Structures are given as structure tokens and as C-alpha cells.
A and B are shown apart, each in its own frame.
Chain A
Amino acid sequence: MDLEDIIGYTLRIGVIISIILIAAGVALLIVKPPAPHILQQLSYPRSLINTSSISPTQVLSGSAALNGLDVILLGLIVLIATPVLRVVMGLIQFARERNYIYVAITSIVLFNLFFAIFIIPILLK
């Protein structure tokens, strides 16, 4: 199995894991809602519950406690992480081929991704 196949499987497994997490989160949310009104608040179109108030650390601890909302968000994080992982694997592939122009190009793409994920939140805080 070469790296191309591994990349294909990574994409597929990433999507499957995230869909399972999302579905499990929705099921948990309905079976044991954290607060009686939370489902109502979530289904209101102009709902005030969104990602601006939820930190990644809270998503992790909440998922461990089987909090449905946090499990859904964990699924969304896995989904966003899948293409990032794919770019990282592209970087490894180019490094193995000693294709230095593309090692540089892929590093720029990866920098843009990390800039959006980690640096912009810090700059705008």
C-alpha cells in the first residue's frame, strides 16, 4: 500500500468517524438533554447557541462526559481536521520524493491553514 492509498483511506475514515460522532451526538442530545430547554433553544432559527461561546477544551471534556452537544462539535472538529491531515500527508509525500519546490508550496498552504485555525483567533481576541 503506497501513500496515495493511505491518503484515500484517511479521507474516508475521517468522514466516517465524524459522521458517527455527529449522529451519536444528536442521539445523546435527544436521549439525555443537558437542560430541559436546550433542544428548544437549539431548534430556534435565531438560536444563540453557537461556536463563538464554546472552547475546544470544553468540547473535549464535554465529549468525555457524553454531552451530546459537545460530541456533535467533536464530530465537526474531526471533519475540519480531515483536509488538514490530508495536506500534512501531501507534505510527507513531497518530502519523500525530494520535490523541494512542492515541500515549500505545501508548507505555505499548511501555514495558511494554521494561520486561520490558531493565529486569527489570537489576533482577534
Chain B
Amino acid sequence: MLDALMLFVVLALTSMAAGFMGSLTGLGGATFLVPIYVLFIGIPIQYAAGASLISTIATSSGAGSAYVRDRVTNVRIGMSLEIATTSGSIVGSLTAAWVYAHNLQHVIYVIFGIVLLGSIYTQITRSKFELPEPKPPDRWTKWLQLYGRYYDPALGREVDYHGVRWWLGELIMFVAGVISGLLGIGSGALKVLGMDWAMNLPMKVSTTTSNFMIGVTAATGSSIYWFFGYIQPYFAAATAVGVLAGSFVGSKVLLKLRNVTIRYIFMAILAILGIQMLLRGLGLYP
């Protein structure tokens, strides 16, 4: 019984650290969590992915309740893109089930490694401007009412914005959904890219709306994971509690912390985990 308790504590503390790093980088806890579980604790990737997918719902809903009050999240833009992320998640989760059923886990390791290394790139090229260069509205903007306004306390004024190229955002969101279902992560980096780069939305709107979408995407994937038995209740329990606590602490620290050094440390951790996952997938790492 002591062993069982010990494992619970280890998993909860690991998830806390992952949730903390995830909320400071904006990548979400699962990005760090799955590789740590697989590489260092020896949990099969199905259970690691299942537990982390569940935990992303907790952080999305937890942070979402605060964002709704700020009125920055754009529910219309989020919902219009959810068509693609939920469809993608169904495709991704079913693909994952097929891969596991055929014992092709190393494919998932390789994809995970690539996603981790790709996340470093998005961290480096992260847009430095809070507000995008305005682009003329297109027909999607009007038809799908892709506009809104919010109060930006940093700028001290109301910001009016509108989204463009909805179709491109939708395509990227489908891929984000597939990745989420396949790997058991929220794939927030890809969602932010879709809104920030493709749809030309302000950073604050992209991140909060992405957070809203992650919960719905992960709920879709989780129910398919549930059916296939990738959710081990004890691991999922420890992970959900840990990641939620870690990202809560992270969100409080984020406001006070403006240190870039810590971001570089987390990027180095991402690189190490990414390379290890790749090597394991290619059979070059025990």
C-alpha cells in the first residue's frame, strides 16, 4: 500500500511540475507530461496519453472560468473552429487506437518527438507584437461574424479586431485536433498559430480562445480514449490533480515573472525530451 501511495505522490508531483512549465510556456502541461511519464516513470504511452488528455480538460476549464469574466475569449470564433478540432480529434483518437492495436507505438514516439521539437520553434518565433498588422476583412469575416472588441489593461484602451482567412484557420485546427487525439495533448501551440498567424487575431484573443477550444477538443478525444481503455483511473486522478495545481501556480507566477532565462531552461527541457522521444521511436534509445 505504501508503494501505491508513493506512486500517486510521484505522479502528482511530476504533473505539478509539468503543469507549471506548461502554463509558463503556454504549451499546456501534457506536452511535458507524456514524455516524462513514458521515459522516466515507465508508464505505457496509452495510459500517459489518456491521463494527460483528461488533465488538459481540467486546466482548460479552470483557466476558462477566469477568461470568461474578462470577456477576451471570442466564443463565436472558438465555436466556428471547434467544428474542425473536434472532427480532427475523432480522427486522431481512432488513429491512435489503430496504432496501439497494431503495436506501432514507436510511430507515436516519433511524431511526439517532432511535435516537441517543433514547439521549440514556435516558442522562438512567437510574435513580439501584441496586436497584429490590420488586414482588410474578407467574406468569411462578415459571414461568420469573426470580430469583437475587448479592453486591454496594458494598452489602457478598447481594442477592436477582426479575423480573416477562416478556411486556413479551419485547416490548421483540423491538424491540431488530429495531433490532440493522436498524442493526448491539447496542441495549444498549433491552435494559437492558427488564430495568430492564419487569422490575424490579437495574441490575447488567440491564447484565451485556444484555451476555450482545448477543453472541448480534449473532451471529444477523452471519450474515445475511455472506450478503448486508455484511461487508468489511478494515474488519471493523480495527473488531473497535479497538472491543475501546477498550472494554477504557474498562472500566478506568470504575472510577476518576466524572466526570459526560465523560458530558455524550459525550451532546453523540451529539446531533451523531444530528442529522447525521437530516439526511442527510432529504436536508438533503450
Which residues from chain A sit less than 8 Å from chain B, CB to CB?
4-5, 7-9, 11-12, 14-15, 18-19, 22-23, 25-26, 29-30, 33, 39-40, 42-43, 45-47, 49-53, 69, 72-73, 75-76, 79-84, 86-87, 90, 93, 99, 101-102, 105-106, 108-109, 112-113, 115-117, 120-121, 124
Contacts and interface: CB of A to CB of B under 8 A. Distances in A.
B69 to A, nearest CB: 5
B42 A116 contact: no
Contacts of A19: 58, 240-241, 244
B64 A113 contact: no
Given A80-B54, A120-B90, A8 B65 contact: yes
Given A39-B1, A115-B90, A116-B89, A15 B244 contact: yes
B90 A14 contact: no
B141 to A, nearest CB: 13
Interface in B38-55: 41-44, 47, 50, 54
Contact of B234 (A14, A42, A82, A124): A42
How would you classify the secondary structure of chain B's contact residues: helix, strand, loop or mixed? helix
5 contacts: A50-B232, A83-B215, A84-B219, A90-B79, A105-B80
Leading 6 A-B pairs by shortest Cβ distance: A52-B229, A112-B86, A8-B68, A83-B215, A12-B65, A43-B4
Contacts of A90: 75, 79
Interface string B56-82: 011011101110110100011001101
Interface residues of B, number: 65
A116 B61 contact: no
A43 B220 contact: no
Interface string B199-224: 00000000000000001101111111
Interface of B: 1, 3-5, 7-8, 41-44, 47, 50, 54, 57-58, 60-62, 64-66, 68-69, 71, 75-76, 79-80, 82-83, 86-87, 89-90, 93-94, 143-145, 215-216, 218-238, 240-241, 244
Contacts of A117: 223
A109 B82 contact: yes
B237 A26 contact: yes
A50 B42 CA distance: 17
B234 to A, nearest CB: 4
Contacts of B5: 30
